[in-house]
């Protein structure tokens, strides 16, 4: 997400320290195709989610990095046959840069779409004796055309899921959907 060095999850040293405390593994890649803007992929994974350490949501990260969120809405992200992830689509702007963001969070086999859902999901799983793992899967494209960016990223999410083996699908959609 940043414009250069450092973690693409966050752009300030304080945010990078928070991300390091929450996630054990992070994967950042950029994928390109001729004639299309690159898709930036971030997958951040934590073995255990608790009330103290939780997935870091783009709604707080982007404004903390100087972006203004100009549009945010819940979306259903089709991943594979009969499998989808409830997620969010954001349009963010900083100066002349418009970045479209598509993401979902997974806690165990649940997909919370807000901070409140996330806290509730962790609490319910903890009360059941479970400490769920957690993942943030985020795609972004620098492009002012939100509709085209959303279509591209939705297709990319489906292709990514379908090209993964069982452990990759479990990371993206939870163990029961692997």
The answer to whether the CB of 151 falls within 8 A of the CB of 145 is: no
pLDDT bucket at 112, cuts 50 / 70 / 90: confident
Residues 6+ apart with CB under 8 A from 50: 122, 126, 131
Query: What sign has the CA pseudo-torsion 70, 73, 78, 84?
Result: positive
The answer to whether the CB of 150 falls within 8 A of the CB of 157 is: no
pLDDT at 156 (0 to 100): 95
pLDDT at 1 (0 to 100): 33
Higher pLDDT, 134 or 52: 134
Res. 13: pLDDT tops 50:
no
Instruction: Give the helix/strand (H/E) hosting 162.
Output: helix 146-163
Span 46-52, average pLDDT? 55
pLDDT at 177 (0 to 100): 64
pLDDT bucket at 47, cuts 50 / 70 / 90: low
Distance of CA 117 to the CA centre of its chain: 15
pLDDT at 178 (0 to 100): 55
């Amino acid at each position: 997400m940043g414009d250069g060095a450092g973690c693409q999850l966050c752009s300030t040293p304080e945010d990078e320290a928070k991300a390091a405390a929450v996630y054990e593994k992070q994967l950042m890649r950029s994928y390109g195709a001729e004639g299309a803007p690159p898709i930036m992929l971030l997958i951040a994974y934590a073995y255990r989610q608790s009330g103290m350490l939780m997935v870091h949501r783009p709604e707080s990260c982007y404004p903390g990095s100087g972006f203004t969120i100009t549009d945010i809405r819940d979306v259903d992200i089709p991943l594979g046959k009969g499998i989808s992830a409830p997620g969010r689509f954001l349009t963010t702007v900083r100066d002349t840069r418009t970045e479209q963001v598509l993401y979902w969070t997974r806690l165990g086999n649940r997909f919370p779409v807000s901070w409140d859902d996330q806290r509730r999901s962790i609490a319910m799983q903890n009360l059941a004796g479970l400490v769920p793992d957690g993942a943030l899967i985020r795609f972004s494209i620098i492009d002012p055309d939100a509709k085209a960016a959303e279509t591209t990223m939705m297709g990319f999410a489906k292709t990514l899921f379908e090209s993964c083996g069982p452990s990759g699908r479990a990371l993206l959609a939870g163990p029961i959907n692997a």
